[in-house]
Structure 1
Amino acid sequence: MSSSAVYATIPVVAATGAGGTTLSAFHDALVQVNLGHYNLIRLSSVVPPQTRVDASGAAAVPVGQWGDKMYCVYAAQWATEPGEEAWAGIGWVQRRDGKGGLFVEHEGTSERFVRKAILTSLADLVRGREDEFAEPELTMRGAVCDDGPLCVLVIAPYEAAAWAGDR
């Protein structure tokens, strides 16, 4: 990647939420990563050019106002029965020339399944492309249900945007 280019950063963050329902557990996970006040718009997993992906925790989630649109890629898995596992993960590869990359997201009931699905999908997506990609990276989250619904969430929030006519 060129050192003179200006790069935007997409953070990848993860949380485990709990609640009385699977919906409220999902919302709790969003609140934990400061995204509970947005309308999520799920994207198709293409990393834009001149964009870095950062799962280190150093990059902040995009800032917007209550009710704004949040463009994102996410994986979420729920567990409702005691002893049941929930796993979610996002993996990505970035082009070595800095001109974008690819995200994949998978959910399941075991770490092994989700990890394998992410790595297999990424390998399939870059196979046969002329572009040169860096090694795959991934972020995963897992939890075991104790007594009520839980949600594991891994989310890559791209940007917040107001609705037309707002502000």
Structure 2
Amino acid sequence: MFNSAVYDQIPVVRATGTGGTTLSAFHDALVAVDLGFYNLVRLSSVIPPNTGVDTTGKTPVPVGQWGDRLYCVYAQQSATSPGEQAWAGIGWVRRHDGGGGLFVEHEGTSEGFVVNAIRTSLRDLVAGREDEFTAPEWAVNGAVCTDQPVCSLVVAAYETAPWVGIVR
């Protein structure tokens, strides 16, 4: 079973945003989960050792200052036509010994497509590895466009960091 000696938790949050453009809908979704004032630094999808994943909302998103870097894994999908769906999701597995894990992120126009892509990617990523992993888990979010562009967003927020050494 997964090693319960977890030292840190990565919060995974979900949101939907709307706006006059797909960019402003994306920003609206970030604001909805208190991440709208960071510079996102997208990470490859490796979970550090002794780190858990929290989708319950008990682990707050990292706190920083306006313009700080936010290291994260995220999936986002937009829809612009009335009736069109936008789905985003992040899935993960963790090593049983607590030695880390893997995230994958996928987007699409249906929940089924996104969940299937997450399952398939995770299966492929752990195939042939000597390490044993937990069963796949995932968090997905969906939205339907009505009259404005929408964005569906899922973010695994690692940490924030200030900019250091910038010439002012």
TM-score tier after normalising by the smaller chain length:
over 0.9
Give yes or no for the alignment of 1:97 onto 2:97.
yes
Partner residue in 1 for 2:149 = 149
Correspondences of 1:55-94 after superposition (within 5 Å):
55-94=55-94
SS at match of 2:107: strand
What is the aligned-residue identity percentage?
70
- For the pair 1:122 / 2:122, whether they are aligned, the reply is yes
**Runs ≥4 residues deviating over 6 A:** none
SS in 2 for 1:89: strand
Deviates more, 1:49-58 or 1:22-31: 49-58
Task: Give how far 1:2 is off.
Answer: 4.7
Kindly provide the amino acid, as one letter, of the partner of residue 11 in structure 1. P
RMSD (CA atoms): 1.2
Q: Which amino acid in the other structure matches residue 121 of structure 1?
A: S
Distance (whole Å) between structure 1 residues aligned to residue 62 and residue 9 of structure 2: 9
Q: How far off its partner does 1:73 sit?
A: 0.2
- Give the CA deviation at 1:165: 3.9
Q: Deviations over 1:33-76 (max 9, x none)?
A: 00001000000000011111111111110111110000000000
AA at the equivalent of 1:161: A
Return the alpha-carbon distance in structure 1 between the equivalents of residues 7 and 137 of structure 2. Answer: 18
Match of 2:43 in 1: 43
**What is the alpha-carbon distance in structure 2 between the residues aligned to residue 83 and residue 130 of structure 1?**
45
**The residue matched to 1:64 in structure 2 has which SS?**
coil
Write the letter of the residue equivalent to 1:88. A
Tell me the secondary structure at the aligned position of residue 29 of structure 2.
helix
2:111 maps to what in 1? 111
Q: Tell me, yes or no, if the aligned pair for 2:85 and 2:145 is still in contact at 8 Å.
A: yes
| Aligned position for 1:9 | 9
| Stretches of structure 1 lacking an aligned partner (at least 5 in a row) | none
Alignment of 1:23-42 (within 5 A): 23-42=23-42
Residue identity matched to 2:24 = S
Q: Look up the SS of the partner of 1:139 in the other structure.
A: strand
Contact 2:42 2:72 in 1 (8 A): yes
Instruction: Report the Cα offset of residue 7 of structure 1.
Output: 1.0
Distance 1:80 1:63 in 2: 32
The residue identity in structure 1 corresponding to 2:85 is E
* Pairwise CA distance, 1:147: 0.3
The whole-number CA distance in structure 2 between the counterparts of 1:6 and 1:78 is 35
